[in-house]
Structure 1
Amino acid sequence: MNPIEKTITSLDWMTITLFLGLVVLALGKYLYHKKFLNFIILPFNDKYILLHNKKGQFSHWFHLLLTLFQLINLSLFIFLVIQVFEIIPNDESVLSYFIVLGFLALFELVKFLLQMFTGFVFDNTSLIGGFIFSKISYLNYSSIIISIANILLIYITTSSKTTIYVAIILVFIINGIGVAKLLKNHQKALFPYFMYFILYLCTLEIAPLVLIGSYLKG
C-alpha cells in the first residue's frame, strides 16, 4: 500500500473572518436598529436612501460599519473566486486575503475620491454625493448575499462555480435595481447633465471593470 499525500486546508482564519464580518453587521443592527430596519428592505423600498442621503452620510458610523462588512466579505469572495478559477497560483494563506483586502479598500477609496472630485469640478457635489451614497448602499446590501455565498463556498458547496455565478447574478440584479431607482428618482436633475453623466459612467464605472476583466483574462 503506497502512502497518499493529503493536503488539509485550515479554515480557521476564514471562520474568524466570517465571524468578524457578522459581528460588524450585528453591531450595526444593535446600535442603529431603526436604520438597519430601513436598510434591510432597501431593494424593495427607498426609505433608507431618502432618509439618510444627506450631508455627513458617508461619515455616519452605521454607513461605515456596513462598508466594513462589505469589504470583509467581498475580499473573501474575490479570494475564493481566485482559488476556484485558479486565476493565480494556488495560495491559501491569510496573507493573500489581506493583499486582496488592501487592494479592494484602496480601489474603493480612490474611486470614491475621484467621484467626489468629479462632483466638485461640475459644481454639483450634492447630486454626485447622493448618487455615490445610493450606489455604495446597494453594494453594502449585496454583501449580505456575498457573505452567504462565502459560507456556502467554504463549508457546503466547496469550490462550486455555480454558487459563484448565482451570487454574481444576484449582486448584479440588486445593484441594477439601485441604479434604475436612482435614475427614476433623479431623472429631472440628471437631464441637464446627461452627457456628463454618461462620461462619468464610462470613466469611473465601466472603465475600471473593463481593465480588471482584461487583466484577469490575460
Structure 2
Amino acid sequence: MEPIARTFEQTDWITITLMVSLLFPLIAKSIYYTRFINFIILPFNNKYITMYTKKEKLFNWFHFQMSVFQIINTTLFIFFIWRSYFNPTEAKNPYIFPLLLAGVFLFITAKTMVQLFNGFIFNSYNTFNELIFKKLTYLNYAGIVLFIANIFLAYVFIDSQIVIIIALILFFIINIIGWVTVLRNYQKFISSYFFYFILYLCALEIAPLVIMGSFLK
C-alpha cells in the first residue's frame, strides 16, 4: 500500500492545478455560452474569428479566462516534457512548476506587449490588435489539447512520450491553422512589411522555442 500512497502524494498538486485550470473555461461557458460554443468548433469553422475579431477587443473577460486556462496547461505540459525527457529528479523540486508558470506567463505577456508596441510604431494598432487576437485565440484553443494530454500524462499513461508527441503534433497543427488564417487575411499588410515580418518570426516565434529547448536540457 505504501507505493500507492506515494503516487497519490506526487499527483496531489497536479490534480489541484488541473481542477483550478478547468474552472476558467467552465466560468467562461456559464457566462458566454454562445461564444464558448463557437470557440469549441474553431478549427472546423471560422465563425468565432469572423464574429469577434472586429467586434471585441483583445482584452476581454472571455479571452482572459481562456488564456489563463491555456497558460496553466501549457506550463504543466512543459513540466511533463521536462520530467519525461530531461530531468525527472529535478522535477520533484516544489518550486519548479511555479517558476515555469511565471516564465510562461511573462513570456506570453511580454510577447503580446512587444507586438502591440510594433502596432504603434507602424501606426497600425488596430491591425496588430486583430492579428494578435486571432493568434492567441488558436493558442488558447490548443490549450484544450494540452489539458487532455495532461490528464493522460498524470493518470493514465504516466509521462508517456507517445502522448507528448501526439499532443505536440496536434498543438502545432492547431497553431499552424491559426497562422495560415492570419497570413491569408493579412497578406497585403505583411507583404508591405515583409522584412520586419521575417525579423518578427526569428525573434519572437523561432528564438523562444530554441531558448525553451535549451532551458529544458
The answer to whether TM tops 0.5 is yes
> Which consecutive unaligned segments of at least 5 residues does structure 1 have?
none
Q: What is the distance in 2 between the residues matched to 1:216 and 1:92?
A: 15
- Give SS of 1:27's match: helix
> Which consecutive unaligned segments of at least 5 residues does structure 2 have?
none
Letter in 1 for 2:6: I
Indicate whether 1:41 and 2:37 are aligned: no
**Aligned match of 2:207:** 207
Q: What is the distance in 2 between the residues matched to 1:214 and 1:13?
A: 26
Q: Does 53-62 or 107-116 show the bigger shift?
A: 53-62
How far the C-alpha of 1:199 sits from its partner, in A, is 2.1
Q: What is the distance in 2 between the residues matched to 1:125 and 1:60?
A: 17
- Give aligned-pair identity as a percent: 43
Residues 148-167 of structure 1 mapped to structure 2, 5 A cutoff:
148-167=148-167
How far the C-alpha of 1:6 sits from its partner, in A, is 9.0
TM-score of the superposed pair, with normalisation by structure 2:
0.90
Letter in 2 for 1:208: P
Deviations 1:10-61 (A, max 9, x none): 1111111111111111111110011111111111122212221237622210
Q: What is the distance in 1 between the residues matched to 2:53 and 2:187?
A: 17
Would the aligned equivalents of 1:57 and 1:63 in 2 still touch at CA under 8 Å? no
Q: What is the distance in 1 between the residues matched to 2:45 and 2:186?
A: 16
Letter in 2 for 1:148: I
**Aligned match of 2:87:** 87
RMSD: 2.1
- The structure whose residues are more often helix, as a share, is 2
Moved over 6 A (4+): 4-7
**Aligned match of 2:6:** 8
Flag the 1:57–1:87 CA change in 2: closer, same or farther, 3 A.
farther
Flag the 1:57–1:94 CA change in 2: closer, same or farther, 3 A.
farther
Would the aligned equivalents of 2:82 and 2:216 in 1 still touch at CA under 8 Å? no
Residues 107-146 of structure 1 mapped to structure 2, 5 A cutoff:
107-146=107-146
**Aligned match of 1:186:** 186
Residues 50-89 of structure 1 mapped to structure 2, 5 A cutoff:
50-54=50-54, 57-87=57-87, 89=89
Letter in 2 for 1:209: L
Would the aligned equivalents of 1:28 and 1:66 in 2 still touch at CA under 8 Å? yes
How far the C-alpha of 1:175 sits from its partner, in A, is 0.4
Q: What is the distance in 2 between the residues matched to 1:26 and 1:53?
A: 22
Deviations 1:128-176 (A, max 9, x none): 2111111111010001000000000000001110000100010000100
Q: What is the distance in 2 between the residues matched to 1:79 and 1:116?
A: 29
Flag the 1:146–1:90 CA change in 2: closer, same or farther, 3 A.
same
